[in-house]
Structure formats: structure tokens, C-alpha cells
Structure 1
């Protein structure tokens, strides 16, 4: 008897992910194969390679397109360097043509391999695009500056959609990512030209990406999403994080992370909030069109929870989170960082910065996000949703604007005084302090050079945490906590504290 020949079925990586989702949802191999009309052997193979497939998608910053295999290219370091450079250009909205990309590919090949026999042909470029999920390499007519002409049509489109879905300001949300150098002071980074040669000091590039998300009324602020490079930082052991933490190779947002956040964090959190507020269970999320965000059709599977993308090059003009909200988060964060350093009297600043861990940064960042008020958030929507502000509120907003300008001046003055305490010889001007505190200079620092890209892709180190490794505090035992508490009560009695306060301590 002739043996049955195995039926070959070739599925794209995107289709393989959908099959894995069906299996994760409780479907059997037989059921999934029958439902999708594919051989059981194909489903078995996909299930067997689950981890490999999931990890590949998690490392992809853009759409995986119609790619079917996960085979490594002939020169993986060259492609990784080129892809890193490409993402950096797109993040800064710089158009990249095919010829520019091919020229850069030849440059990285020569620098990494030491050879000059690579042509970077059109055929190679097509395969590179397919492997990396790049659909467009040339952005025709794109401008680096903000496109003010595209704002008005989009405002009308957004207003029509809001009216169609019958949404209120409690049901319209915005989210936006921003980089944060979490362990940095002006005199230890890019402010001074001679900093690299200063004894005992270096340019700190300990960075995370954080994404705040809130509705237009400011009444619902979701927990921050924070992205780092380490999947399981040692300092997070036994810690209850106030944020949602994820990891990617470079600490950047990826399509997979954003998609998972939208499905498992945004939708459930918003459903719960709207239910508690007795609002209809539907919402709109406004985001920019960054390469790390999946396309609308991939996200908008539920008609009650949809994602709408801003027009290209309009972020600086109308994105709510970009209207001083992320900047204010950074100002608050850095103010708290300075307070922490000053409170540790007679201690070396650089040593304190090294001991300031990723856990400290995450907790401080959460505190900074919580300091953003409802009024701050409401005012940030004026550029994209002018109808949100009534005529009667205009005068109030003008008064708030004057007040906020005075508060900003006061904060700047405080920061200047605090920096003087840390470094009396520091002669930073107001503009330098403002650029540091709001993160305006971080774009330049976050953009790594070609040599750093090459060094990064050739490095095989896998640090557990970005930055310096610090000692992890041991878990406090219950008996130790009781002994310490008893000493506190004794101290209160010996220092003749208010009797009621002592009773309150004893009661607790």
C-alpha cells in the first residue's frame, strides 16, 4: 500500500499567530484545523514552534506583512544595523528612499565585514523589505515640519465620528509614547562640551519609553505603560509595580506590544471605567501614525472600541499628550529626582545616580503622571477638539494660562536653585535647564550614531537591567517589622508626642 503523502500548507507568520491565538483560546488542534480548512500536521508544526514564532513577532517593530519564514539573512548584523538606522530615521519623520537605504546598507556591510563586494541590489532590497515588513521606502512629498493644512480636515472628520458614535469627552482617549533618560542630570549629559572627559563621569543613556493614556475630560488616567530593555529586571523582584511594564530589544514600542496593550489593558480598563460612570460601553483612542502602531484594521476588531490615527506630521500641533503633558511629566519626574539627591546629604551625586534603580525610576514616573491634573489634560485637547471648550470657559482658560505661566516660571526657578545645591559651580542658563527638564534635548541624545549602532548589533551581552547593577534589598521578615514598629511607639512615648497619636500607633 502506498503511504499517504503529507499535504503541504504554507501559512504567513500573521496567519500562524492567528492559529496560535485560536489554540490559546482553548481550541483543539483538530478543531482549529477543521475550522481553517488546513491539515492537522500544519497546526501541530505551528504549535511546536510557538515560542519561536511569538518571539520573532515580539522583536518586530513594524508589520510582518506576508512573510512566511523566519530564516535569518546571510548578514544578520548588517540587516539589524540597517533596520535600526531606518527606524531612527522614520521616528524623526525623515524620508528614506530606496537609493539612500541601499547606500547605507553598503556602508554598514563594509564597516562590519571589512569587505567591499556587496552591491545591495534591488533584489536584495525587496527581500529586506519583505523580511522586515516595510511597505514604503520613499515618502513622497513628506515634510519634516508640521503639516498645518491637514489639521482642519481631520478635525471635521473626528468631530463627525464622535457625533456618529455619540461619544462624550469621557469616552475619547489619547495615548502617546515618549523617551525618558531616567538617570540623568544636566552636568552629566549633553549640556557641557567637555563632559566626556570629566573624571568619573559619562554620558548616561539609561532610557525607558513611557506611554501615558487618558480621556479628554482627564477623569480617567490609565496606568502608565513603561518599556525597558530587560524582560525581568532584578530590582523588580518582590515589587508591586504601579505601572504596566514590558520589554523590547531596544526599549522601544513595537506593534506586538501596542496591540497587546490595546486588547488586554486599554479595552478592559475603559470598559470598567465606563461601567462605573454609567456611560455607554464604547470609546475612541486617538494615536499618531508611528511605524510601531499596528494598522487600524488589525486593531479595530470591536466596533465599540476603535483606534483613529492622526494625519502625518501633525503631532506637534494637535496631539493632546504632546501639548505639554509629556513635558510636564518629565519636569515633575526630574524635580523629584533632584529632591531625592538633595535629601541624601553629604553623598556623592554620581554614586547616588548609580544607586537610583529602574524600580525607583518607575515609581517616580508614576508619581509624576499622577501629578497631572484634569485641567492640564482638558486644555491639551483644544488643538484637536475645539468644541470641547465652551465660550463660557474661554475666560477661565485664559486665567488658567496666566497662572500656568507663572507656575512654570516658579518651577524653573526652583529647579535652578536645586541644581545649584547639587553643583554650586554649575552655570546653566534658563533655556538649558528648560530643555533638560522637559526633555527637548532627548531626541538628539536618543539618536545613536552609526558606530554605536554597529557596536550594539555586534554585542552579544544580555544585561538583566539597563544601567549599573545594584544590590537587591532582601525581603523584610514579619518579626523584624513588628520589632521596628515597637521601637517607633517607644520613640513616640519618649519624645512626648501627642497622646492620641501614640494611641493611634498602638491601635495600628
Structure 2
């Protein structure tokens, strides 16, 4: 396969048709070129001829001048014609399209138009002054697509049967590429995107606190996008990617993002954009897999399998000669994508289990605390910690067996994959919690959260999601500045004193002296780095 071209049944993409190019797209091309992207790369990404891109780049000065002249007129037009319900509808529609893209659900023009009209009708009641007329015409969609930056968005009406037929042929085609490489299972990677409402629990959750049944708080629909992946041998789980709407959320003030257990990116729509994906590929994925190969004595030669989601650049093959990219046939994510065959469901089950346990532990520690209080204090920093823990819990066996559909030669002893297995594991924990805390949440509630990746975002959900985002931003703006984290001699001394008291209490209770000293030694060994910081701080103050 030629570098960077999407693949379907072993065939290259069809010849490009001539496209009309508006001013905004011309400016987009100029920005990409001035940002260092090659002409051929831009052409592939936007589906244009290289000569067309070259002509636009050569005419950059005139195009920029024209763009400046038209900016004021455009702003005036937008303020007159796209205000009120229409403007808000487009924000919500963008979030909906983003969610569909994250799930790799094919979109048709009709589906987008129906959703746009539905959102507009629901929003009209908020704007009674001046009746607006909105028909969601094809012309409106073309303008909206450019305004929202969906230059790589394609609407499709492909039949499910065609996708199923392509999925059936793809493994044989992929095996030829693997054999020609040749590639070891350790060198073959896949990543997949998913959304996570990180402050969400089953809607009918009740927890008994002090004998009183407390209803579960309807948590806000604060959302992040995740990118999860690993290799076909199950031996390398990539560091998770988290995309949050805020570049510098208050909960992360004073914390170096480089020290987080995830790769952190920001996008106002919490969308994994082309730019974010490319940054991840160059600065996260490449160094991570190269280190894995070097540590394990494997040649740095990687095959990356991706789906056809709009957020995946077409020119990745141009960025590193050691990485070959192959794209799944359109609309086959649910049929072939390894991470979609059980890994993401596993991860969400573990995340749910961890979050449940944290909520109950907090309620147990403070009898005056309510579930609403817990969620108000639960922020993106806590979510990142729990995301990392849940990802650690996904087993090597799971990471390997999900490749059965796309690379059956690597899973010869595959005896079936029970997608409900993770649900059962999560339910076991919840049953245990139910016995201890009179927790009431049925299996359907739990299943709904684990499978929320494929849920349709209703108009009410979209409106609430936008409101929650605005509320969080306003709350962060009104809060006082958080003091940056730093070590002090006094607070380190206090921490070690408390640790000493803890060990003293445990030693008095534990009849097994050998066990006590073993645990104490393990803890002391693991906090040696903090002892060193303490000693250095003390010396500096003398």
C-alpha cells in the first residue's frame, strides 16, 4: 500500500474529483503549508490535486489580503443571520457530530439535517423574540461544515451489508502485509477513540448512609475523549490519551502535565482533532513504541492499524519511515477494530468499579457527606487518576484476544470472547458493595454505563453537556488561585511523623511480626525518593 492511503479490500482510493475551494479552505491550506506540512501531504488530506494546492500557496499574499477585507463583512453577516437558536443549535450539532465520529458511526446528510432541525425546534422556545426560519438546506450544511472545521468530514450512505463483506475480506489482505513486512505481533498496534462521561454513575443508584437511603446524584455530563491502544501480543499497553476541554483546568494547577499518568491534550469540543492525533503520533506514540522495541530487542518497525475516522490524518506514513499505517475499511469498527472488541468495555467496567469504590469510601469516612458533595469535589485530576488505574487493570490476555477478528493467526487458541464477562466482573464488585452498603443499582444500569460508548446523545443530553461545560468554566474563573505544589521541610516532616504513627499502631495490632516488618520495609523502600528530597531540603536550610 502506498504511504498514507486508506485501504479497502486491498485497493487504493479512487481518483479525486475536482472540488470547489472557498476562501476559508484556501486559508486553511496556506496555514498548513506555512506550518511546515508538505504540498503532497496537504493534497492527500484534503482530497485535492498537488497542482491545485501549489497554485493556492503561490497566491498566498493576494488570498490573505482578500481574507482580511472579507472578515468584517462576514462577522456582520454572521451576527445578523446566525444568532439565537441557530447559533446555539450549531454548537450542539457540532458536539453531536463529534460524538458520532468518536464512535465511528457513519453519517448521512439526511441524518445531520434531521438532527439540526430537531435541535432548532427544541431551542426555539428559549428565543421568543423574532421568529427564525431554519430549513437545514444543503447550502446551510456546506457553510456549517466549513465554519465548524469539518473539512475532513464525509457523509455516507453505505449499506451495512457492504461493510460486512469488506470486513470479511480484510483479514486476508492484512495478513499479506504482515507476511511481507514481516511484522511480529509485538510490532503491530491499534488505537481506538472513546468518550467517557467521567462524573457519571447509574441513574438509579441508592446508597445507605447511617440507615438512610440516599439517592444517587445525577452527575454532570462532563466528558473527555480517550485514545486507548496496544499491540497484538498484548505485551504493550500504550499510555492513555485524555482530551479535556480546558488547556489549564484549575484541578491541574501546579501539576506538571508531563508527570501525569496520561498524555493530556485540550480541545474546546473535547475532540481528538487531526492536529492532536498528529501531535500524539509524533511526540507520544513514536517515542513510546521505539522504547518498547529497544527494551525488548525487537526491530523498530511498526504496523499501525487505524479506522477511517475523520480525526485520523492521511499523511502519517510520511512522518516516520519506521511506521506503516493501514486503515480499516469504512464502517467496520464494530466488526474488526481490536480495541472495540472488548478492551474499551473492560476499561469502562474497571473505571466504573473504581469510581464506585471511591464514592463509597468517601461516604464511609464522612457520615455528613452526600453523593452530591462527592461529585462536586470529583474533578478532572481525580478522573485522570482513575482512568490510569482502570487502564492498568485491563489484562494482557484481554489485550491479546481482541485481535481475533482482524488477525486470527495470532490467536490460534481462541475459544470465544464473552463481551459480558467484564460486565459480570463489574457486577460482582457491585453485588459486594450492595451487601456491605445496601447499594441498589441493577445490572441494566451498570451495562448502560459500560456500553455508553454507543449511546445516542439526545437533544437534552447535548444541551446539558454544553451547560455543564459553561458552568465548569465559570466556576473555575471565580475560584481563587491554587498555590502551586511544592515540598517544604515542615510538611515533609509532618508526613513522616504521621507515617511513623501509622506503623506504630499497626505493629501493636499485628500478631504476625514477620508480616509487619515485610510491609514496613516495602513501604520504606517505595518512599525512599521522598526521604531523599526531605534530606536535601534540610541540608539547604542549614
Partner of 1:486 in structure 2? 497
Partner of 1:352 in structure 2? 374
Alpha-carbon separation, structure 1, partners of 2:430 and 2:143: 51
Assess if the C-alpha contact under 8 Å between 2:108 and 2:156 holds in 1: yes
TM-score by length of structure 1 reads: 0.73
Matched, 1:174 2:174: no
Matched, 1:184 2:203: no
Assess if the C-alpha contact under 8 Å between 1:129 and 1:135 holds in 2: no
Partner of 1:302 in structure 2? 320
Partner of 1:59 in structure 2? none
Alpha-carbon separation, structure 1, partners of 2:506 and 2:143: 76
- Provide structure 1 residue ranges, at least 5 long, that are not aligned to the other structure: 1-9, 24-34, 53-67, 191-197
Question: 1:91-110 counterparts in 2 under 5 A?
Answer: 97-98=108-109, 101=112
- From 347, 361, 364, give the equivalent of 1:343: 361
Alpha-carbon separation, structure 2, partners of 1:101 and 1:406: 35
How far does residue 105 in structure 1 lie from its aligned partner after superposition? Answer: 5.4
Question: 1:35-184 counterparts in 2 under 5 A?
Answer: 42=61, 74=78, 75=82, 77=87, 79-88=90-99, 97-98=108-109, 101=112, 111=123, 114-117=130-133, 122-131=138-147, 132-134=149-151, 138-143=155-160, 147-184=163-200
Query: Alignment partner of 2:36: what SS?
Result: helix
Cα gap change, 1:380/1:411 in structure 2, threshold over 3 Å: closer, same or farther? same
How far does residue 369 in structure 1 lie from its aligned partner after superposition? Answer: 0.8
- From 241, 247, 259, give the equivalent of 2:260: 241
Matched, 1:326 2:339: no
Alpha-carbon separation, structure 1, partners of 2:188 and 2:290: 13
How far does residue 429 in structure 1 lie from its aligned partner after superposition? Answer: 3.4
- From 447, 451, 455, give the equivalent of 1:440: 451
- From 28, 35, 41, give the equivalent of 1:20: 35
How far does residue 423 in structure 1 lie from its aligned partner after superposition? Answer: 4.6
How far does residue 184 in structure 1 lie from its aligned partner after superposition? Answer: 2.2
- From 444, 455, 459, give the equivalent of 1:449: 459
How far does residue 478 in structure 1 lie from its aligned partner after superposition? Answer: 2.5
Matched, 1:380 2:398: no
How far does residue 186 in structure 1 lie from its aligned partner after superposition? Answer: 1.4
Alpha-carbon separation, structure 1, partners of 2:428 and 2:286: 41
Query: Alignment partner of 1:212: what SS?
Result: strand
Deviations 1:276-321 (A, max 9, x none): 2222222121122122222x23554434213222122222222111
Partner of 1:7 in structure 2? none
Partner of 1:417 in structure 2? 432
Assess if the C-alpha contact under 8 Å between 1:96 and 1:139 holds in 2: yes
Assess if the C-alpha contact under 8 Å between 1:207 and 1:228 holds in 2: yes
Alpha-carbon separation, structure 2, partners of 1:503 and 1:362: 29
How far does residue 183 in structure 1 lie from its aligned partner after superposition? Answer: 2.0
Deviations 1:359-388 (A, max 9, x none): 111111101111222211111101110111
Query: Alignment partner of 1:13: what SS?
Result: helix
Matched, 1:283 2:287: no
- From 473, 486, 489, give the equivalent of 1:463: 473
How far does residue 322 in structure 1 lie from its aligned partner after superposition? Answer: 1.0
Alpha-carbon separation, structure 2, partners of 1:20 and 1:211: 25
Matched, 1:214 2:212: no
Matched, 1:253 2:266: no
How far does residue 91 in structure 1 lie from its aligned partner after superposition? Answer: 5.3
Alpha-carbon separation, structure 1, partners of 2:247 and 2:73: 22
Larger relative helix fraction: 2
- From 450, 463, 488, give the equivalent of 1:477: 488
Q: CA RMSD in A?
A: 4.5
Matched, 1:370 2:392: yes
Alpha-carbon separation, structure 2, partners of 1:255 and 1:388: 31
Cα gap change, 1:179/1:430 in structure 2, threshold over 3 Å: closer, same or farther? same
Query: Alignment partner of 1:280: what SS?
Result: coil
Matched, 1:311 2:321: no
Alpha-carbon separation, structure 1, partners of 2:478 and 2:159: 41
Assess if the C-alpha contact under 8 Å between 1:189 and 1:202 holds in 2: no
Assess if the C-alpha contact under 8 Å between 2:217 and 2:371 holds in 1: no
- Structure showing greater relative contact order (alpha-carbon pairs closer than 8 Å, 6 or more residues apart): 2
* Between 77-86 and 304-313, the greater mean CA deviation after superposition: 77-86
How far does residue 220 in structure 1 lie from its aligned partner after superposition? Answer: 1.6
Query: Alignment partner of 2:324: what SS?
Result: strand
Assess if the C-alpha contact under 8 Å between 1:95 and 1:142 holds in 2: no
Assess if the C-alpha contact under 8 Å between 2:335 and 2:405 holds in 1: yes
Question: 1:497-508 counterparts in 2 under 5 A?
Answer: none
Aligned residues: 448
Cα gap change, 1:139/1:170 in structure 2, threshold over 3 Å: closer, same or farther? same
Partner of 1:60 in structure 2? none
* Between 220-229 and 91-100, the greater mean CA deviation after superposition: 91-100
Assess if the C-alpha contact under 8 Å between 1:212 and 1:222 holds in 2: yes
Query: Alignment partner of 2:451: what SS?
Result: coil
Deviations 1:132-152 (A, max 9, x none): 444676423333x89322112
Alpha-carbon separation, structure 1, partners of 2:111 and 2:361: 51
Cα gap change, 1:290/1:479 in structure 2, threshold over 3 Å: closer, same or farther? same
Assess if the C-alpha contact under 8 Å between 1:81 and 1:454 holds in 2: no
Alpha-carbon separation, structure 2, partners of 1:107 and 1:405: 34
How far does residue 495 in structure 1 lie from its aligned partner after superposition? Answer: 6.6
Alpha-carbon separation, structure 1, partners of 2:457 and 2:231: 31
